[in-house]
């Protein structure tokens, strides 16, 4: 199977771009099916592919021969053997970028949170969750990974003036867009929806309870 942009129309909706196309052209797996990892649950990998959703597992070479950081993660484009009801992932394309953090504890390993991301949306609630220094650390980490950050200040219904919080973010002197909204009152929701573009990949970051859903 030889893929081109006409054949890849459906996968372009899930983030396929020139970078991935170039690496695909350089690979030796043109006879295998291609999909993108959308979730990982234990040993089960859920992919989106041209034929729809696919449940897959790792082939033995990956399962027993690859380092944990190199195993497919959410956002990876992978080659898989298609056996109808299931698939076996045999390889993955190079990553455009990866968002990672240090593994908890004393180990120095890195935990990959997601890969091939265009924008990371940092959500903070305008209640006790708001912490401008933590926000700055998020932005620093995201930019270092080659990802464009976007700040969303949620729960504006809980404060008299959300602009005071926006000013605190702007004082960080970061090149980042800031949006305000409330999932309770609905204020700012339309502006937030305008953030998203077809064919781009977005990742939500924030503490539990800030309103990422």
160 or 106, greater pLDDT: 160
In this prediction, residue 67 has a pLDDT band, given cuts at 50, 70 and 90, of confident
User: Edge-to-edge strand order for the sheet containing 177-180?
Assistant: 177-180, 148-154, 119-125, 202-205
- What pLDDT, in 10s, does the model give residues 168-201? 999 999 999 999 999 888 898 899 888 888 889 9
pLDDT at 40: 95
Answer for the pair 153, 184: CB distance below 8 angstroms, yes or no.
Answer: no
- Reply yes or no on whether the pLDDT at 95 is more than 60: yes
In this prediction, residue 7 has a pLDDT band, given cuts at 50, 70 and 90, of very low
- In angstroms, the CA 150 to CA 122 distance is 6
Share of the chain above pLDDT 90, in %: 64
pLDDT at 9: 46
Positive/negative CA dihedral, 120, 18, 48, 101: negative
**Domain boundaries 9-92, corresponding CATH code:** 2.40.50.140
pLDDT at 206: 87
Region 91-113 average pLDDT: 81
- Reply yes or no on whether the pLDDT at 13 is more than 60: yes
* Number of neighbouring beta carbons within 10 Å of residue 157: 14
User: Mean pLDDT in the chain?
Assistant: 88
Range 117-205: architecture per CATH: 3-Layer(aba) Sandwich (3.40)
Q: In DSSP terms, which residues pair with 57 in a beta bridge?
A: 88
In this prediction, residue 1 has a pLDDT band, given cuts at 50, 70 and 90, of very low
pLDDT at 128: 84
Would you list the domain boundaries of the chain? Answer: 9-92, 117-205
Q: Fold match between 9-92 and 117-205?
A: no
Answer for the pair 89, 50: CB distance below 8 angstroms, yes or no.
Answer: no
Region 111-122 average pLDDT: 93
7 or 115, greater pLDDT: 115
In this prediction, residue 3 has a pLDDT band, given cuts at 50, 70 and 90, of very low
3-state DSSP assignment of residue 13: coil
């Amino acid at each position: 199977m030889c893929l081109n942009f006409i054949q890849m129309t459906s996968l372009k909706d899930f983030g396929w771009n020139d970078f991935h196309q170039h690496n695909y052209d350089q690979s030796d797996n043109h006879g295998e099916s291609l999909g993108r990892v959308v979730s990982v649950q234990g040993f089960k990998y859920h992919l989106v592919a041209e034929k729809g959703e696919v449940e897959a597992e790792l082939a033995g070479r990956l399962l027993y021969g690859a380092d944990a950081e190199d195993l497919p993660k959410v956002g990876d484009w992978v080659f898989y053997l298609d056996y109808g009801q299931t698939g076996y992932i045999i390889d993955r394309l190079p990553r455009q970028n990866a968002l990672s953090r240090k593994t908890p504890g004393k180990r120095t390993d890195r935990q990959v949170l997601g890969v091939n991301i265009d924008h990371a949306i940092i959500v903070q609630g305008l209640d006790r969750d708001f912490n401008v220094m933590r926000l700055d650390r998020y932005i620093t980490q995201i930019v270092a990974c080659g990802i464009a950050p976007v700040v969303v200040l949620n729960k504006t219904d809980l404060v008299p003036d959300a602009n005071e919080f926006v000013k605190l973010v702007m004082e960080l002197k970061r090149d980042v867009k800031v949006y305000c909204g409330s999932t309770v009152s609905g204020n700012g929701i339309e502006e937030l929806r305008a953030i998203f573009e077809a064919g781009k990949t977005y990742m939500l970051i924030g503490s539990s309870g800030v309103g990422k859903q």
